Amino acid sequence: MEHKRIDNINRRDSGMAYISDDAVMEEQKVCRKILQELNFADRSDFDKLSAIVKELLGESEDAFINPPFYCDYGSHIKVGKNFFANYNCSIIDVAPVTIGDNCQLAPNVAIYTAGHPLHPVSRNSMYEYGIEVTIGDNVWIGGNTVILPGIHIGSNTVIGAGSVVTKDIPDWSLAAGNPCRVIRKITEEDKKYYYKDREFDEEAWEEIQKL
């Protein structure tokens, strides 16, 4: 009985090893045209930038990206409400990237779902893979952080700048480093500070207590 071959788009979307053939690259062309528009748009035209981001990401609520921004498909990225990505972020979305509500990416954050085999013979075969990344609600990813394939970051978590996230990070964590490790839990006591030991002024604190 002849074995039925699986096309590379279905291989990719099923989490199998796949090759970026012409059909795969045709999908990427759609994204690259939108990115071309986003990355060369008038940076002061916030309404236009928001509209392009909406087209790129599809379903999203009040998402905003400061260009330049880079991804492979855009349609594989699902963000919750109030998503913000600062300058020069990259999301290599071969596999799904799911990001919750109220999440912020600082400049130069890179999220990678893509990878290549370890052994050079397998790697030279042109087969590659994608493994999903999931980020919860209310997460801030510090500048120059790299998030590797398969990572899950819990809600209400902060990842310190310059981190390389190689393992899952639980909810309510302050984590940093290379490799990224949990430093401590974020607690209710942290609410009154805006930076290290600097407390909010009375006016700002009144507003925060209403939230």
* Residue 124 token pair: 């030279």
What is the spatial distance between Cα 185 and Cα 181, in angstroms, rounded to a whole number? 12
In 3-state terms, what secondary structure has residue 148? coil
Q: Considering only CA atoms, which of 67, 76, 77, 78 is closest in space to residue 36?
A: 67
In 3-state terms, what secondary structure has residue 156? coil
CA separation, residue 39 to residues 55, 87, 190, 204 (Å): 14, 10, 37, 35
What is the spatial distance between Cα 207 and Cα 211, in angstroms, rounded to a whole number? 7
Annotated catalytic residue, options 76, 116, 119, 152? 116
Q: Is 116 a catalytic residue?
A: yes
> What are the start-end ranges of the H helices in 14-123?
22-39, 46-57, 120-123
Q: Catalytic site residues?
A: 116
